[in-house]
Chain A
Amino acid sequence: MNIIVCLKQVPDTETQIKVASDSKSIVTDDVKWVMNPYDEFGVEEALRLKEKFGGEVTVVGLGPKRVTESIRTALAMGADKGILISDDALEGSDSLAVAKALAAAIKELEYDLIFTGQRGVDDDLGIVGAACAELLGIPQMSIIVKVEVAEDGKTVKVTRPVEGENLVIESSLPALITTQKGLNEPRYASLPGIMKAKKKPLEEKTLSDLGLDAAGFGEGGRKMKIVELTPPPARAAGKIVEGETPQEKAAELAKLLHDEAKVI
């Protein structure tokens, strides 16, 4: 079973986000870049399936050279090889353009399953996986917490939580699955894993290597334009609930929630 995991690098979730002076991007000086947390679940699930069915796990990342570091992390966890799609013309691309580049790279590979995170925790769009599946003409199942591949390796059954219920969905393979927290606990890379990762193949591809015209990518190719980024809307200053004892504070809070906030 050959599995592809798509990987994005994002600012660590503890990062303070500051809007840059151009009002269209964020300040990246102090950003610690990490593998998108949802993509880690994809790497882990791919490795577990490989342990059961054999085959190869290929990690496909897209972005500047620093993304190599996250691909190496996935290789250290146990993935077999990496591909980095990197091209100056990609800078500023929107999700649809990213999906097009990923699909072009994946088309050249053999695969039964593709994993992507359910969304990147940076722009929070959640488009790339589904759009990539559409471009490849394969089904997608999104926001998945359980994956069971049939013994014959021809179909997959997944669990998808929706509001108030879990759907069990069956699909033919190949298919694309977007991962949700709860799917698994990603392993840490072991020291021998890290050593081995250095020798694993990591190929770099440009848009022209993929037969793509740079004109459709970057800022100029965006279909969704960023007009302006702003800090989050400020909340009006709150009040500290007064009282001598916890009981008094509780009584005052209940009163405020009823009389003033009118939520109880």
Chain B
Amino acid sequence: MAQGVWTIAEEREGEIRKVTYEIVSEGRRLADAAGQELTVVLLGSNIKDKAAELGHYGADKVLVADDAKLAPYTTDAYVSVITELVKANDPAILLISASVQGKDLSARLSGSLDVGMAQDCTAFAIEDGNLVATRPIYAGKAYANVTFENSWPQMATARPKLMDISEPDTSRSAEIVDATFSLDESVLKTKVVEVLKDESGKIDLTEADKIVSGGRGMKGPENYNILEELADLIGATVGASRSAVDAGWRPHSDQVGQTGKVVSPNLYVACGISGAIQHLAGMSTSKVIVAINKDEDAPIFQKADYGVVADLFDVVPALTEEVKKYL
């Protein structure tokens, strides 16, 4: 019978990414609830020295797949190795981050393992020993509770930034095991030929702690500087609504909403955004929502924790000055 909770670590250039600690922490909670062990699979090249730290976050065991062909991430290589390891070890639960990489990996694993997969979940529970996952559908206009049937492992991905990271406990240690796998060159059909870094140093919207977003009320691309100033000051990333992106004011990568990015920052400041369903769907899992809009009937106010009914061109610069008092 399938046993154990598994999570897949995510690394980039030899460093463990934050989303890994989120799913390892959540994996620990699920393993405790199910009375099972937590295994973290760490794949990469010369990565083994990163394994011990995963124990501090709750891993009982770290299975290390170290191979030059496993860095940087490619779907082909990861899927080949993880499929082999899962089939050999038969875990009951497989938890992955719903990062860009995790979404790619989990979707393909669904095919290679012939299992169901609950993508981008916001909460998990164990009931009768099995995984129950909660996930937004229609970009959060409804939520689904899902379970699995004849589908082992029970596979799910966790939306970034929603799973609390446990305090690392340095007295905990994990058993570190070298994984045995065959990774045949012939399965590698794709190759990363270039990595174009975003030199702006801007934190991606999906990973940002704070977001200051502007919509049609910004009136034009030249006015986003007032949002940039506030954002720089409080350590936020600037986002945009679909109408601002479709008008060509901001790049596609800035779009928050159903056909853009789904974000969950601690603070989301919506400036001049009326709050079309399309947009609300993309930011409703934010912890604190602020809306600044001169139209008091704008639907965004129904989602906002703090609403400011006023002209954003007056409020935003004033807010930038006011927050300086608290920094």
Give residues in A with beta carbon < 8 Å to B.
Answer: 11, 13-17, 19, 26, 37-38, 94-96, 99, 119, 121-127, 129-135, 138-143, 145, 157, 159-172, 175, 180-182, 222-233, 235-236, 238-241, 246-247, 249-251, 253-258, 261, 263-264
> Chain B interface secondary structure, helix, strand, loop or mixed?
mixed
Assess whether B284 is in contact with A232, with CB atoms less than 8 Å apart.
yes
Does chain A have a CB within 8 A of B267?
yes
Give the interface size class of chain B: 35 or more
Does chain A have a CB within 8 A of B137?
yes
Residues of B within 8 A of A19 (CB): 142
**Given contact pairs A142-B107, A264-B234, A240 touches B309 in the complex (Cβ within 8 A):** yes
> Chain A interface secondary structure, helix, strand, loop or mixed?
mixed
* Pairs A–B under 8 Å by Cβ, sample size 7: A133-B108, A168-B192, A223-B150, A226-B144, A239-B305, A250-B321, A263-B267
Assess whether A261 is in contact with B151, with CB atoms less than 8 Å apart.
no
Does chain A have a CB within 8 A of B289?
yes
Does chain A have a CB within 8 A of B99?
yes
Which chain A residue has the least Cβ–Cβ distance from B160? A163
Residues of A within 8 A of B327 (CB): 264
**Given contact pairs A96-B110, A172-B189, A181-B252, A238 touches B116 in the complex (Cβ within 8 A):** no
**Bound: A37/B189 CA distance, A:** 28
Assess whether A231 is in contact with B143, with CB atoms less than 8 Å apart.
yes
8 Å CB contact of B193 from A127, A157, A239:
A157
- Binary A-proximity of B66-103 (CB < 8 A = 1, otherwise 0): 00000010111001000000000000000000011101
Does chain A have a CB within 8 A of B120?
yes
Which chain A residue has the least Cβ–Cβ distance from B281? A13
8 Å CB contact of A232 from B103, B141, B197, B323:
B141
Assess whether A181 is in contact with B149, with CB atoms less than 8 Å apart.
no
**Given contact pairs A141-B190, A223-B150, A263 touches B288 in the complex (Cβ within 8 A):** yes
Assess whether B110 is in contact with A230, with CB atoms less than 8 Å apart.
no
**Bound: A222/B306 CA distance, A:** 42
Assess whether A168 is in contact with B267, with CB atoms less than 8 Å apart.
no
8 Å CB contact of A168 from B99, B101, B195, B326:
B195
**Bound: A247/B316 CA distance, A:** 9
Assess whether A143 is in contact with B100, with CB atoms less than 8 Å apart.
yes
**Bound: A38/B119 CA distance, A:** 17
Residues of B within 8 A of A223 (CB): 114-116, 148-151
**Bound: A194/B201 CA distance, A:** 46
Does chain A have a CB within 8 A of B3?
no
**Given contact pairs A96-B110, A96-B114, A125 touches B311 in the complex (Cβ within 8 A):** no
8 Å CB contact of A225 from B112, B140, B147, B278:
B147
Within 8 A of A (CB), among B285-327: 287-290, 301, 303-311, 314-316, 318-319, 321-323, 325-327
Query: A231: shortest Cβ distance to chain B, in Å?
Result: 6
Assess whether A168 is in contact with B194, with CB atoms less than 8 Å apart.
yes
8 Å CB contact of A241 from B75, B100, B107, B307:
B307
- Binary A-proximity of B134-175 (CB < 8 A = 1, otherwise 0): 011111111111111111000000000000000000000000
Assess whether A254 is in contact with B190, with CB atoms less than 8 Å apart.
no
Which chain A residue has the least Cβ–Cβ distance from B123? A233
Assess whether B136 is in contact with A124, with CB atoms less than 8 Å apart.
yes
**Given contact pairs A123-B137, A231-B142, A246 touches B323 in the complex (Cβ within 8 A):** no
